[in-house]
Structures are given as structure tokens and as C-alpha cells.
């Protein structure tokens, strides 16, 4: 699956073929602030550079001065600013790359924000090891036998039931992040059912 719009966050620049494929095939590449330099060095150009612009390289800012969008408020991070920019421009099919690495606190924050973004756009995150997919309601996800799966609940009161996993959930409440990790798919798809929500599902690459 490819996405029309890719947001490149300012984490570690992708190395795995999967996130790189999304970048290379994207119709629109939106950079979060400082990530524009990495994109430029990889031989690609951003359509827009969005954020508070406090970490953008001055040379890059000069080169792409016609596509800088400064949003100075500090109530949201640059990734959220980029997502909101996409929504305002009716780019509603988004894949996020480069959102992990460098700082663990940023990584955790970026992954958790998927649950909020999913209320407004179709979105998922691709890293160098796998994908994160937010679910607002029961969903069936494609997989392969033995694929490593982890499930995270944003609300610890959410009750989760699964079908198609090696260690099935049956009304399980994930009171801590580790509880839904280190599972695996037994076939070519699996189902996550839950009340409340939302839920974020990680699937490791083969």
C-alpha cells in the first residue's frame, strides 16, 4: 500500500525499503521542520516544510523559502502541525515516516498521537522495523503467519478481544503498555475487537 501524502518527521531518516518506498512514490511530501535537510540530501524535495522552524538549516530554509509554513504556537509538536496542515489542504490519506529514533520520548509521543490523527484522516506510521496502525473500531488487518504483533491501548479501560493471534485476547484490559506485546499472527489476517478505544497495532516486517 502506498499513500498519496507522506509526512517526514524529524526523527531518524528511514533506511528500510518500506518507508523509503513511500517517500519515493508519494505525490506530496510534507517535512516537519528539520527533516527537510535529510530529505534534500536524499535527493528529494518537500512540497511544504511545516513547524515552528526552530531547527531548520538556514541553507535549506533559503533554498525552499517559497514553501515554509511557520506555526509558532507551542501547544502541539511539529508532527501534529504537519498533520493539521495536511488536513487544511485536504490531504487525508497520510503515511508518517521518520517519526522514531533519536529520542525515545519523541518516539512514544509520536506513536500515541496516531490515535488522535485517526479521528480526522486515514493514517498509519511506517518505521524501519514495521508499521503502526491506529484503530478507532473493530478492524481486520492483513498479516503473514508468524508475523510479530503488539497491541497498545490508549485507554487502559478498553477491553480487547482478538481472533487470529497465537495468544488470544478475551476482554483483556491492557493496564500497562507491555501487556499486549510479543504476540504473533497465525494466518494471513487477524481481527482486533474492542469497546472504548482507540487501539494502536504494531506489525513487524518479515
Contacts 24+ apart (CB under 8 A), 14-17: 14/97, 14/98, 14/126, 14/127, 14/128, 15/128, 16/127, 16/128, 16/129, 16/205
pTM of the model: 0.94
Which cell numbers hold the place of 108? Answer: 512514544
Paired strand residues for 70? 51
Q: In the β-sheet with 93-97, what is the strand arrangement from edge to edge?
A: 68-70, 48-51, 28-32, 5-8, 93-97, 122-126, 130-135, 199-204, 148-153, 183-184
Of the three residues 99, 128, 157, the one that is the final residue of a domain is: 128
Q: What's the rounded Cα separation, in Å, for the pair 6 and 86?
A: 10
Stretches where the chain sits below pLDDT 70 are: 1-3
Backbone angles phi, psi at 29, to 5 degrees: -115, 120
pLDDT value, residue 55: 79
Same domain, 79 and 142: no
Matching residue, cell 489542504: 89
Same domain, 22 and 123: yes
pLDDT value, residue 182: 95
CATH number, domain at 151? Answer: 2.60.120.320
Domain limits at 63? 5-128
* Number of domains making up the chain: 2
Amino acid at each position: 500500500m502506498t499513500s498519496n501524502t507522506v509526512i517526514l518527521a524529524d526523527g531518524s531518516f528511514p533506511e528500510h525499503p518500506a518507508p523509503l518506498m513511500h517517500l519515493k512514490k508519494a505525490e506530496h511530501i510534507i517535512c516537519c521542520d528539520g527533516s527537510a535537510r535529510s530529505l534534500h540530501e536524499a535527493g528529494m524535495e518537500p512540497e511544504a516544510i511545516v513547524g515552528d522552524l526552530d531547527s531548520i538549516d538556514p541553507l535549506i530554509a533559503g533554498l525552499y523559502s517559497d514553501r515554509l509554513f511557520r506555526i509558532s504556537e507551542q501547544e502541539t509538536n511539529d508532527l501534529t502541525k504537519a498533520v493539521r496542515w495536511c488536513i487544511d489542504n485536504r490531504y487525508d490519506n497520510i503515511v508518517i515516516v521518520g517519526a522514531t529514533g533519536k529520542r525515545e520520548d519523541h518516539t512514544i509521543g509520536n506513536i500515541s498521537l496516531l490515535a488522535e490523527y485517526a479521528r480526522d484522516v486515514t493514517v498509519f506510521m511506517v518505521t524501519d522495523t514495521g508499521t503502526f496502525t491506529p484503530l478507532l473500531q473493530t478492524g481486520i488487518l492483513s498479516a503473514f503467519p508468524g508475523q510479530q504483533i503488539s497491541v497498545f491501548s490508549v485507554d487502559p479501560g478498553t477491553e480487547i478481544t482478538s481472533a487470529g493471534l497465537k495468544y488470544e485476547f478475551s476482554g483483556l484490559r491492557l493496564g500497562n503498555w507491555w501487556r499486549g506485546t510479543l504476540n504473533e499472527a497465525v494466518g494471513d489476517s487477524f481481527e482486533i475487537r474492542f469497546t472504548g478505544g482507540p487501539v494502536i497495532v504494531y506489525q513487524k516486517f518479515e
